Chains A and B, each alone.
Chain A
Amino acid sequence: MAVEPILELRDVHTSYGAIKALKGVSLTVRPGEIVTIIGANGAGKSTTLMAICGIIGLQQGEIYYNGEPIHGQDADLLPPKGLCQVPEGRRIFPRLTVEENLEMGAFFRRDTKAIQQDMAHVFDLFPVLEDRRTQKGGTLSGGEQQMLAIGRALMSRPKLLLLDEPSLGLAPMIVQKIFEIIATINQDGTTILLVEQNANIALQSAQRGYVLETGRITMEDDARKLLDNPRIREAYLGEV
């Protein structure tokens, strides 16, 4: 018997005014997986994640998290259930310190001791954040901000973590490091839905992948098979 999915989208439609952004997206993520959505600029990847998190309303379709319908729920109710996003552009609170940014990740939690432990764990993963703990988030470098954004998300002890382009604008060395950490987070038991334009690294770290093109899922397969697919190689991996 198949495991019950942790996340399921069924025929999701959204639009920004007259512009249709998602035109029937269906996808499934099972507990423990790393699943990736790859696609070109404007395909609707970020829109998909924002729709899952309740920031963008659906015109049609359903979203289930652990079997519970979450479409139409207020966004702020989802993090306590273990659904958490590291959004595109990181969205660090610029005038809060590194430490305060991390505290906000644990906003809904009251277990002060465990929060302190989790913060220590984040500092273990990203020692540079500990050195910068009293610095304003807005003054960090891009790479440090990405680490802080991931750290902030971990502070909520997510069961399902949505990551929107964690590699964006980072040097290859840092990208490497970020993806190592993502693998560690996954091994520690967090399911991951990863959105990337960098299809190569995304498909290497994921088990399964979806291809999103102008608001529609056009392909779905094991990550390995997508990596070997000539059409994907041509369209997303820059090969002719």
Chain B
Amino acid sequence: MEFFLQQLINGFTLGGIYALIALGYTMVYGIIQLINFAHGEFFAAGGYMGVILLSFFASKGYMQTHPWLCLGGALLLAMLFCAFLAMAVEKVAYKPLRHSTRLAALVSALGMSIFLSNGLMLTQGVYDKPYPSGFAQGGFEFGLITVSYLQITIVLVTIGLLIFLNILVFKTRIGKAMRSTAQDKVMSALVGINSNKIISLTFAIGAGLAAAAGIMVGLYYGSVNYTMGFVPGIKAFAAAVLGGIGNITGAMLGGLIIGMVEIFGAGYISGQYKDVFAFVILISVLYFRPTGIMGENVDDTRV
């Protein structure tokens, strides 16, 4: 029983992170029907921005005096950096191909992914970069279950970002413009919406969330690597497909499910197969229910 609860908590932590990444895939797909294979790279870039900023803060001694401020600052700056990076990527690699075939844009996305991860390797090196330690150490112990402060932090930040995103997309004027653009670009132009700006903004938001996820993964596992975007990127993509690609609630649910399945699969079946479960789900969904669990039948939260 303790083991089960412990796994539940771990699964929730990991699932939230996948959810954050999955949202970027699903929003971009919802608005321009492109699977942005470079999206995992924004996650990795966020992880690196986190390590660079937090190490800098640590070297100045701020981490010891104001740890929360440092984390908040690093999160914000990394999210902004990746948002601008994503807008640049969109402008260079996708916008010129918007009226070409979908295959052309897909190939461009794959190329962009390789370009960005090589860029990370060249500027940051091939070796793991350790996160400064000592942040939010310790935790609660309930019998055999431990919930670290770090886990609590990650879960709270994740929930905060998910709530923020939902309000942004479903309640604000800009969010409604995003959904309009996703639904009918010509009509959106006819009411005065500049779809280029909205598409650019969508990339920025998705990348910002992925960057936050990157920092949290860096904190959780203690280090980052230039290849770190690949596997979580594909798992988050599986989460987006599982939830019904284009569907916001679906991506959040899908991320949670993939995280849970991975943790429980590793715990109860075999740790060696932990990366396999997401792909089994991805293939099963594509085979049995390509529209995903929240697909076109429950259409309310498609962008």
Across the interface, which residues of B come within 8 angstroms of A104, CB to CB?
176-177, 180, 188, 191, 193
Chain A: minimal CB distance from B287 (Å): 27
Of residues 250 through 267 on chain B, the ones whose CB sits less than 8 Å from some CB of chain A are none
In whole angstroms, what is the CA distance A11 to B152 when docked? Answer: 68
Report whether A87 and B191 are in contact in the complex, using a CB–CB cutoff of 8 Å: no
- In this assembly, does B128 line the interface, its C-beta being within 8 Å of a C-beta of chain A? no
In whole angstroms, what is the CA distance A78 to B300 when docked? Answer: 31
- In this assembly, does A103 line the interface, its C-beta being within 8 Å of a C-beta of chain B? yes
- In this assembly, does B60 line the interface, its C-beta being within 8 Å of a C-beta of chain A? no
Report whether B189 and A91 are in contact in the complex, using a CB–CB cutoff of 8 Å: no
Report whether A93 and B184 are in contact in the complex, using a CB–CB cutoff of 8 Å: yes
Across the interface, which residues of B come within 8 angstroms of A95, CB to CB?
179, 183, 299-300, 302
Report whether B191 and A156 are in contact in the complex, using a CB–CB cutoff of 8 Å: yes
In whole angstroms, what is the CA distance A87 to B302 when docked? Answer: 24
Report whether B300 and A107 are in contact in the complex, using a CB–CB cutoff of 8 Å: no
In whole angstroms, what is the CA distance A94 to B179 when docked? Answer: 10
Across the interface, which residues of A come within 8 angstroms of B300, CB to CB?
95, 136
Of the candidates A75, A78, A107, which one forms a contact with B177 in the assembled complex, judged by CB atoms under 8 Å apart? A107
In whole angstroms, what is the CA distance A108 to B173 when docked? Answer: 10
Given A91-B186, A93-B187: A156 and B179 within 8 A (CB)? no
Consensus secondary structure, chain B interface = helix
Chain A: minimal CB distance from B285 (Å): 22
Across the interface, which residues of B come within 8 angstroms of A84, CB to CB?
190-191
Of residues 24 through 67 on chain A, the ones whose CB sits less than 8 Å from some CB of chain B are 53-55
In whole angstroms, what is the CA distance A230 to B207 when docked? Answer: 64
Report whether A76 and B194 are in contact in the complex, using a CB–CB cutoff of 8 Å: yes
Across the interface, which residues of B come within 8 angstroms of A80, CB to CB?
192
Across the interface, which residues of B come within 8 angstroms of A76, CB to CB?
188-189, 192-195
Interface flags for A59-90 (1: CB within 8 Å of B; 0: not) read: 00000000000000011111110001101000
Total A-B residue contacts, Cβ distance less than 8 Å: 68
In whole angstroms, what is the CA distance A95 to B191 when docked? Answer: 16
Given A95-B299, A95-B300, A96-B176: A107 and B183 within 8 A (CB)? no
Given A91-B184, A100-B176: A107 and B192 within 8 A (CB)? yes
In whole angstroms, what is the CA distance A104 to B184 when docked? Answer: 12
Q: Tell which of B188, B192, B299 has the most Cβ of chain A within 10 Å.
A: B192
Among residues of A, the one whose C-beta sits closest to the C-beta of B197 is A76
Given A95-B179, A104-B177: A152 and B191 within 8 A (CB)? yes
In whole angstroms, what is the CA distance A225 to B298 when docked? Answer: 53
- In this assembly, does A105 line the interface, its C-beta being within 8 Å of a C-beta of chain B? yes
Report whether A85 and B183 are in contact in the complex, using a CB–CB cutoff of 8 Å: no
Chain A: minimal CB distance from B30 (Å): 10
Given A76-B194, A95-B300: A103 and B183 within 8 A (CB)? no
Chain A: minimal CB distance from B79 (Å): 26
In whole angstroms, what is the CA distance A219 to B279 when docked? Answer: 65
In whole angstroms, what is the CA distance A237 to B17 when docked? Answer: 64
In whole angstroms, what is the CA distance A55 to B193 when docked? Answer: 13
Given A91-B186, A93-B184: A156 and B176 within 8 A (CB)? no
Across the interface, which residues of A come within 8 angstroms of B184, CB to CB?
91, 93
Of the candidates A77, A93, A105, which one forms a contact with B183 in the assembled complex, judged by CB atoms under 8 Å apart? A93
Chain A: minimal CB distance from B191 (Å): 5
Chain A: minimal CB distance from B163 (Å): 20
Across the interface, which residues of B come within 8 angstroms of A78, CB to CB?
192
Chain A: minimal CB distance from B98 (Å): 15
Q: Tell which of B176, B179, B191 has the most Cβ of chain A within 10 Å.
A: B191
Across the interface, which residues of A come within 8 angstroms of B194, CB to CB?
74, 76
Chain A: minimal CB distance from B202 (Å): 16
Report whether A79 and B176 are in contact in the complex, using a CB–CB cutoff of 8 Å: no
Of the candidates B177, B179, B191, B299, which one forms a contact with A79 in the assembled complex, judged by CB atoms under 8 Å apart? B191
Across the interface, which residues of A come within 8 angstroms of B179, CB to CB?
93, 95-96
Of the candidates A87, A100, A103, A136, which one forms a contact with B190 in the assembled complex, judged by CB atoms under 8 Å apart? A87
Of residues 88 through 145 on chain A, the ones whose CB sits less than 8 Å from some CB of chain B are 91, 93-96, 100, 103-105, 107-108, 136
Of the candidates B183, B193, B195, which one forms a contact with A96 in the assembled complex, judged by CB atoms under 8 Å apart? B183
Given A76-B193, A108-B192: A103 and B173 within 8 A (CB)? yes
Across the interface, which residues of A come within 8 angstroms of B195, CB to CB?
76
Of residues 147 through 179 on chain A, the ones whose CB sits less than 8 Å from some CB of chain B are 152, 156
Among residues of A, the one whose C-beta sits closest to the C-beta of B183 is A93
In whole angstroms, what is the CA distance A108 to B191 when docked? Answer: 8
Across the interface, which residues of B come within 8 angstroms of A55, CB to CB?
186, 189-190
Q: Pick 19 A–B contacts, CB within 8 A, sort by A.
A: A75-B189, A76-B188, A76-B189, A76-B193, A76-B194, A76-B195, A78-B192, A80-B192, A84-B191, A87-B190, A91-B184, A94-B183, A95-B183, A95-B302, A96-B180, A104-B176, A107-B173, A107-B192, A107-B193
Q: 5 smallest A-B Cβ distances: which pairs? A: A79-B192, A75-B189, A108-B192, A91-B187, A76-B194
Using a CB–CB cutoff of 8 Å, the interface residues on chain B facing chain A are: 173, 176-177, 179-180, 183-184, 186-195, 299-300, 302
